[in-house]
Amino acid sequence: MSRDILDEAHIHPAIRTKVESYHAELVREVQAAVAAESIVIVGMRQNPFPRKARKLLDARGIPYTYLEYGSYLSEWRRRIALKMWTGWPTFPMIFIDGVLVGGASELETLLKSGEAASLQGDGKRHG
């Protein structure tokens, strides 16, 4: 799979630093959690879908790490950096074993299909 991302050659040199550093600390924070934890849910307050994803995992006793960034009215600029990084347009963003699997609906599908049956671990990445 490939997705279109504006090539660096088409970004004026005067703004490249701004583009590459746009809330980079937030992206690094999420990358570190994804590298360290088996399941990471990235969400926001007031959004029912991160809550739905957490309830799905809680009901099965599956451990996860939850990162919350603002609400509908706050921190939206920071969250844009995560959307640009992943290409995923909504919250939550759910990572399993370092792989973006989508949001709450996609997690529910994985759980119902049994594909996510091996997620009963301790929540930490091994290996």
56-67 residue pLDDT tens: 999 999 999 999
State the pTM of this model. 0.89
pLDDT at 117 over 70: no
Indicate the number of domains in the chain: 1
Q: What is the pLDDT of residue 126?
A: 44
Task: Assess if residue 118 is contained within a domain.
Answer: no
Task: Assess if residue 77 is contained within a domain.
Answer: yes
Q: Dihedral (C-alpha) 117, 34, 56, 122: value to the nearest 10 degrees?
A: 60
Could you tell me the CATH number of the domain that includes residue 56? 3.40.30.10
Task: Assess if residue 53 is contained within a domain.
Answer: yes
Check: CB of residue 39 under 8 Å from CB of residue 47: no
> Taking residues 112-125, what's their average pLDDT?
67
Task: Assess if residue 68 is contained within a domain.
Answer: yes
pLDDT at 122 over 70: no
Task: Assess if residue 120 is contained within a domain.
Answer: no
Task: Assess if residue 124 is contained within a domain.
Answer: no
| Both tokens assigned to 123 | 């929540």
pLDDT digits (tens, 9 = 90+) for 29-39: 999 999 999 99
Task: Assess if residue 74 is contained within a domain.
Answer: yes
- Residue 81 is part of which domain span? 8-113
Task: Assess if residue 62 is contained within a domain.
Answer: yes
